[in-house]
Every structure is written in structure tokens, then in C-alpha cells.
A and B are shown apart, each in its own frame.
Chain A
Amino acid sequence: MEIGAWKGIWVIAEQIGGSLNSVSLELLSKARQMKEELQSSEPVTAVILGSGVRNMADELGQYGAEEVIVVDHEALAIFENDTYAAVLSDLILERKPEIILMGATAIGQDLAPMLGGILNTGVAAHCVDVRINEEGELVSVVPAFGGKVLGDILCPDHRPQMATLKPGILGEPVPQKGASFKVTEYQAEESLKKVTGRVKAVAINKKESQGIPLEKAEVIVAGGWGIGSNENWHYLEELAKLLGGAVGCTRPAIDENWAEGEHQMIGTSGKSVRPKVYIGAAVSGSTHHLCGMKDSGLVISINTDENAPIFAASDVCIVADAAKFLPKLLEKIKQA
């Protein structure tokens, strides 16, 4: 493989049902930063696939894309892995970007390794950061063992170098002032001819999540298995509401059906959050969970077990039964 022929940084943007996933914008901010580190003159390029998605180029441009490749086709309306991979692999082989970033979302976690397989290249999975080293190579920082260990991953001899990054991990994206960008339309017909239709999307069901999304919440009240009951879970919801925040959780709270769903789960296989204030109520502090909340501002923990691992990762430790402590706290806040 002639490595020198591959140039530029791409972000494969993601949309579902016409709404752009904000991780795409986070990745663009990162791509602009890496372009500086690479001292590259190649435009940072965003690629957007879908049906009726031309209008999304503006937002991608405002957040740092210098070129937006739009692939607009009705066959791309709902994500089908075979279809998306056929179009993207052709596009990548035609244009040869040296780095490709994608969100470690459900779609990204399927599509990125597929492209790695088709293009015979390396993909670093759900990274917590990426950077450029002195050799001008992509270094991806990946968590292992639930985030207990981080490791650098390189892809020295294959191109493109690919990485998926966890949504929210890079922080808030920054719009570029006075951004100008060009839009390139890519015709997908030739690629689509190769698609056999063995994977056919028939419907999409997506709930709009209630309240403030975890990634944007300034205060997060997270609950774990120790909360003990659905009734006690309501204390968390009430506290989150009073503080203008959102409820997060650990895996057991989902298994017990206390939490609304996986969009509330914080951790290695859930969301990475960085609120101003994190309140952990009856959260023991497994490595998986700590990895997802360690970048929070003030960390407050309430747990009956003074040896709970969460206390070692907390600024403020309260040894108490959260189910008794929270009602008291709610009462005082309401009097405040």
C-alpha cells in the first residue's frame, strides 16, 4: 500500500430520520485540531449519507467541515449496513482520506468495522481521545477492561487509519467563526448496483427522549442498585428536576426497570458524561461506571458502605442510606 497517496481527515457524519447526531460536530472540532497537528492543507471533510439530507451541510460547515460530501439517495433513507458500506467504501477508495473518524454509536460501531474489513485496514474502537504523533500518524486512545486501562492504538502500515469515538467524550463542539465550505454531491448509483438487498430495513422506531439529555445536563443524579425500589427511584427524578438536571444510572437500575432505558446508562458501554455536578446515589462505583463519569466537575456520592469504590473517586462523600437521605435533601431544597 502506498501510504503517501492517502491524504486528509474525514468525519463520517450520522443522521437518523433527518436529525444530525451531535457526535458528528464533536468529531469535526477534533478533526480541525488534528489538521493543525498534521500541518495539513487538505480540507477537513464531512460525509453525510441519507435521503433529503442536503440541508445538513450547513451545520456541518459551521462546525468545521471545509468540504461536505453529500450522498443523497432514497435508498439511503434508513441505515442498512450493506448499502451504507458499499457507498462509503467506493467513496473512500476514490478519494483516499488518510484518517476517518466516526461516532461510536450503534450505527458507527457496525459500519466502521465493516469498512475496516472491506478496506483491509485497522479501526480503533470507541476511543476516548485521538491525536497525531511526531510521525504524523493517528494515535487512538482506547479503553480496555471497563476503562481500568487505556492503551494507544496505531495503524502504521494500512490506510485509511480509522477510529470511532464515544459520543460526549470530546466535550462541546465549537462553531468556526466565518466558516466557508464547499458542498460536493456524490452520485451513489454505481455503488448501489452492487447491493444485493440481503439486509432490508423495513421500519424505524425512535422515541424522542424526555427531558435534558445526559450529555448536556449540568447536574446529573445517578442511581444504582442500592436504591432498592422503584418508589425510591422517584427521589432521583425529583432531585434531578429540582436541580435542573437529568437522571443517570448504572446497569442494574436498567435490569430492575427503574430507569427509563439505556440512554440513561453512564459507563464504558453507556454514555460518557461531564456535568458540573454529579451526584451518585447508592452507586457502588464499578470500573465501568467510573470510566463514564470521571470527568465530571464536582462528584458527590451517597452510599451506606464507607468502603464503596465510588468514594475514592468522589470529592464529597456522604455515608448514608440514599433512600433516607434524598427525601431529607428534597425537603430542604424546597424550603430554600
Chain B
Amino acid sequence: MTLKIAVCIKPVPDPDHYDKITIHPVKKTITREGIPTIINPVDKNALEAALQIKEQVGGTVTVITMAPPNGEESLRELLAMGADEACLLTDRAFGGADTLATSYTLAQGLNKLGNFDLVFTGTESADGSTSQVPSQLAVWLEMAHLWNVAEIKLNDEQGQEKVQEVQAKMKIENGYIEYVVKLPAVLAVSRDINTPRFTSIMGVMKAKKKPLKVCTVDDVDLDRTLIGLNGSPTKAGAVFAPSMDRKGERLTGDMDEVVEQLLQKLRAAGINLEINNGSQGGGE
């Protein structure tokens, strides 16, 4: 009955500090100095989903990332949260990858580690937020997939040796679509699917002894024309930081005066304060 489950994760600069990101005035490169690296938040929901399924039917959970060498810290944290083993794909040759080259590299890394029944990811990363890696990963792996998954249920029929399919809900605008998906499959989960568990001290202790494999470009069977900057069909052009600054007039006085000034501003902006008021009356 056991399932072989993978979770793809990404270390990202902490979104709470994005106001500190600047563009270098001369080099025109993005400066993110002093911003701590964290595990992309929704990736913890992906691990939680994997751990819940493992607890239900048994199996192993492998976390994998393509990242700089310090990605090891993020993986160790997820091993402490409950993953069984980890793999870091790290090499300068992977640098500059767009979503297509990233998903190819991850797919080849996963293929090296074995045949997975389920591959979890978060819907998107906080830094680039492209949300494109999960769907492209599924294309490379030739697996079924769903994106934006808010609920998963195993179709765990009696008499079957192994889980063959899952029921899942994909969130769409103002609702969801329900699917039955045959395994093997890639499932990209949204943050409302679950609440990730906390890491225990015991988990941290255990994590130190769990296997963490580091693979470079030579350790994985890869077509070198499909990785890194060269394997990326999209190319980055100019970057710029849009100004959001406005004049910022502060209204002063006691609350009645401020309210009065605000009503004048609203009228000046063409808002008719009487029109909806009449029908509203004293309430519903």
C-alpha cells in the first residue's frame, strides 16, 4: 500500500522584507542584501499534505530543491518537520534557469531518485510567483497533474494493492472544480489546504541523521542544452522599481473635523454621497 511521495520546495527571500529590495542604480541588478532566506511558505503546506498521506497509507517522503548550496538548511528544516530524506540539486550550471529549465532539472532529479507515485509542490513561490513550475514539471515527468489544489482525498478502495487515484478540488475564481486524478500525479497545493505542523525538538534531533543527498550537474542524467540560462526560452530584459509614492496630505483636527474634510474630498472626487443613502435609510 505504501506510496513513494516527493515534495519540491524552494528557499526564497522572506516576503515580509520585500520593501527592502532595491535596484542597483548603476548595475541595474536587484539587490536583496540583508533579507533572510526562508522556505517558500506554501511549500510547507505541500509537505504537510505529503505527510498526511504517508500517515494514512504508509510510504516515504522525499524533499527536493534546486538551489544554491545553502538550500541544505531549508531541506534540513523540512526533514525536522517530518520528511524522510532530502536531495539538493546545486550547481552553477543550473543558474539563470526560467520555469521551463527549472522544471526540467527538477524532473530529472526526481527521475534519478526513483519512480514517485505523488509529487507535491506549492502553487507558487513568493519571490517570482510565476506559478508555472508545477504544470511544467508534470509535462516533463509525463504525469497527470492538478494546480491550485485545495482538498485531496485518496480513493482507497478495498482489495487494491495500492492507491490508484485521488479525488481533488482545484480552486477557481469563486469556486472549485472536482477531479479524479490517476497516479502517478503532480499536485500543486494552495495555502488553504491544511495548516503545516510545527517542528518538535525531537524532529530537529532526528533530522541530523536523516539522509541528505547533494547532486551536481554530473550526478544527474541531463541534457545540458535544457538547463540553466541556456535552456531557458525566456530572457530577462530591463528591471525597474515602479514608484508608488503619492503626495500624502494628512487630515488634522478632531474626528468630526477630519470626517468633514474627508466628505469634501469624496465629493470632489465625484462620489455622490446622497444617492445610495436614500434607499439605505435606517438600514435594511
A155 and B246: CB pair below 8 A?
A: no
A315 and B239: CB pair below 8 A?
A: no
Docked pose: A67 CA to B56 CA in angstroms:
52
CB of A174 closer than 8 Å to a CB of B: no
Task: Say what secondary structure dominates the interface of chain A.
Answer: mixed
Task: Tell me which residues across on chain B come within 8 A of A291, comparing CB atoms.
Answer: 244
Q: Chain B residue with minimal CB distance to A117?
A: B139
Q: Separation in Å of the B34 CB from the closest CB of chain A?
A: 14
CB of B237 closer than 8 Å to a CB of A: yes
How many A-B residue pairs lie within 8 Å, measured between CB atoms?
269
Task: Tell me which residues across on chain A come within 8 A of B251, comparing CB atoms.
Answer: 316-318
Docked pose: A89 CA to B134 CA in angstroms:
18
* Interface band, chain B: 35 or more
User: Among residues 141 to 159 in chain B, which have CB atoms less than 8 Å away from a CB atom of chain A?
Assistant: 144-148
Docked pose: A336 CA to B173 CA in angstroms:
37
A202 and B178: CB pair below 8 A?
A: yes
B237 and A149: CB pair below 8 A?
A: no
Contact flag A201-B275 (CB < 8 Å), given A117-B136, A124-B234, A152-B236: no
A157 and B175: CB pair below 8 A?
A: no
A125 and B130: CB pair below 8 A?
A: yes
Q: Chain A residue with minimal CB distance to B241?
A: A149
B236 and A153: CB pair below 8 A?
A: yes
CB of B250 closer than 8 Å to a CB of A: yes
B269 and A332: CB pair below 8 A?
A: no
User: Among residues 225 to 243 in chain B, which have CB atoms less than 8 Å away from a CB atom of chain A?
Assistant: 232-242
Task: Tell me which residues across on chain B come within 8 A of A158, comparing CB atoms.
Answer: 233
A117 and B140: CB pair below 8 A?
A: yes
Interface string of A296-336 (1 = CB under 8 A from B): 01111000000001011111111110001100110011101
Q: Chain A residue with minimal CB distance to B170?
A: A106
A202 and B180: CB pair below 8 A?
A: yes
A314 and B248: CB pair below 8 A?
A: yes
A144 and B128: CB pair below 8 A?
A: yes
Of A35-43, A78-86, A181-189, A223-231, the one touching chain B: A78-86
CB of A243 closer than 8 Å to a CB of B: yes
CB of A33 closer than 8 Å to a CB of B: no
24 pairs, CB–CB < 8 Å, chain A vs chain B = A16-B172, A78-B177, A106-B170, A106-B171, A110-B135, A110-B170, A113-B133, A122-B98, A122-B100, A123-B234, A125-B128, A125-B129, A145-B30, A146-B126, A150-B240, A151-B238, A151-B239, A153-B234, A199-B144, A244-B276, A299-B246, A317-B248, A329-B262, A329-B263
On B, residues with C-beta under 8 Å from A are 13, 15, 18-19, 21, 23, 30, 32, 98-100, 103, 124, 126-133, 135-136, 138-140, 144-148, 167, 170-182, 185, 232-242, 244-251, 255-256, 258-260, 262-263, 265-266, 269-277, 280
Known: A106-B172, A125-B132. 5 other contacts (CB 8 A): A126-B130, A154-B235, A218-B271, A288-B15, A336-B273
Q: Which 9 A-B pairs have the closest CB atoms?
A: A152-B237, A117-B139, A122-B233, A206-B175, A122-B234, A113-B132, A125-B130, A198-B144, A110-B147
